[in-house]
């Protein structure tokens, strides 16, 4: 929430349609989060939407939307997963992505995005 304040972004929680965890609305500098999410999911979603706010992303429906979404997912994974903790969780959980997500207190999507980053780094 401190980062939202520094970015001059308001954060509200309300009931959102099924499948929508949150969104960022640039014209109002507003992040809306689904009020029914558990804390770990709220933290991941807020981090993701703050990335959109930091870059003043206009929204998913724009021509730039897909690239902005990809950047938000990448930066969220890098911010929320510590490499040493990930390696430890991967060994402890025998590579099971769901168990790793539980161990690191993040969503499965964040773990999958982090794995994609690792994969891309190895290929580069």
Domain boundaries, the chain: 1-70, 81-124
**Which CA distances in Å does 38 have to 21, 28, 33, 85, 106?**
11, 26, 11, 22, 11
- The structure's pTM equals 0.92
* Alpha-carbon span 108 to 122, nearest angstrom: 21
CATH H superfamily, domain 1-70: Metalloproteases ("zincins"), catalytic domain (3.30.2010.10)
Are the C-beta atoms of residues 74 and 54 closer than 8 Å to each other?
no
Write down the residue that tokens 């911010």 correspond to.
79
pLDDT in tens, the chain (124 residues): 899 999 999 999 999 998 899 999 999 999 999 999 999 999 999 999 999 999 999 877 666 778 999 999 999 999 999 999 999 999 999 999 999 999 999 999 999 999 999 888 777 6
């Amino acid at each position: 929430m401190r980062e939202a304040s520094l970015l001059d972004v308001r954060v509200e929680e309300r009931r959102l349609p099924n499948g929508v965890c949150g969104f960022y609305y640039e014209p109002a500098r507003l992040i809306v989060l689904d009020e029914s999410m558990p804390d770990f999911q709220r933290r991941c979603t807020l981090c993701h939407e703050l990335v959109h706010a930091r870059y003043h992303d206009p929204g998913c429906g724009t021509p730039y939307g897909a690239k902005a979404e990809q950047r938000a997912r990448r930066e969220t994974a890098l911010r929320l997963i510590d490499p040493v903790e990930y390696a430890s969780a991967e060994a402890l959980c025998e590579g099971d992505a769901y168990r790793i997500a539980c161990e690191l207190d993040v969503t499965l999507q964040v773990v999958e995005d982090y794995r994609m980053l690792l994969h891309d780094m190895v290929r580069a």
